[in-house]
Chains A and B, each alone.
Chain A
Amino acid sequence: GAGVSQSPRYKVAKRGQDVALRCDPISGHVSLFWYQQALGQGPEFLTYFQNEAQLDKSGLPSDRFFAERPEGSVSTLKIQRTQQEDSAVYLCASSSRRGTEAFFGQGTRLTVV
């Protein structure tokens, strides 16, 4: 595609509900990153994939967060038993080389009520 596509754009979840956020990276991009951006803050790293391999998940805040990229293209970030502190914008980025020029999607704004 022309750019990184994320869906849904907005998600409202009740506390305790599971959510799944989707990222379609730019075709052919090897690297894929997930970031979390709280209101008024810069993004924070969550996890990194190279093709289908999850090479770094050190930024995932708890074991309720899980990410996958089974075929090395589309990725899903799953949050189980959502909490209010999970409310944030979740950004996906992809790059053709190892991160020098990362292209971002528009993000998914998650609100947990």
Chain B
Amino acid sequence: QKEVEQDPGPLSVPEGAIVSLNCTYSNSAFQYFMWYRQYSRKGPELLMYTYSSGNKEDGRFTAQVDKSSKYISLFIRDSQPSDSATYLCAILRMDSNYQLIWGAGTKLIIKP
């Protein structure tokens, strides 16, 4: 079993819809949860990160962590065609030189 599981999609939704992207993880000791966005032929860019449980909001984006079920989510409100990209969740391993453990990434397509 991989440490971080993520459905690769693709996920296709109409413009303006609310998008929900999700990951599960295996180790309850994980504390830092990251969301990256990766456009085609580009490197990942950090969207936001959360520490421990709870929600964090940044504009149209909300990150949510449920440590009891080892489940992390990213919600995108009022989705735009420019949001079309691959979204990767990642765990920051503070016990292992701060390396990132990644999900496979979900390809998101927003249809105009």
- The 0/1 profile, CB within 8 Å of A marked 1, for residues 80-100 of chain B is 000000001010101011111
B44 touches A48 (CB 8 A): no
A2 within 8 A of B: no
A42 touches B88 (CB 8 A): yes
Assembly CA distance A4 to B32 (angstroms): 23
Contact of A43 with B99 at beta-carbon distance under 8 Å, contacts A100-B32, A100-B49, A100-B92 already known: no
B60 within 8 A of A: no
B interface residues, how many (CB within 8 angstroms)? 25
Q: How many of chain A's residues touch chain B, expressed as a range?
A: 20 to 34
For A31, list chain B residues within 8 Å (CB): 98
B18 within 8 A of A: no
A100 touches B43 (CB 8 A): no
A45 touches B32 (CB 8 A): no
A99 touches B98 (CB 8 A): yes
Q: Which segment, of A66-74, A75-83, A103-111, faces chain B?
A: A103-111
A106 touches B42 (CB 8 A): yes
Question: Looking at the complex, which one of B6, B96, B102 makes contact with A43 (CB distance below 8 Å)?
Answer: B102
Q: Write the residues of chain A forming the contact surface with B, with a CB cutoff of 8 angstroms.
A: 4, 31, 33, 35, 40-45, 48, 55-56, 59, 91, 93, 95, 98-107, 109
Q: Write the residues of chain B forming the contact surface with A, with a CB cutoff of 8 angstroms.
A: 4, 6, 8, 32, 41-46, 49, 88, 90, 92, 94, 96-105
Could you list 7 further interchain pairs (A-B, Cβ under 8 angstroms) beyond the known A48-B98, A56-B99, A100-B92? A40-B104, A41-B105, A42-B6, A44-B102, A91-B43, A98-B97, A103-B46
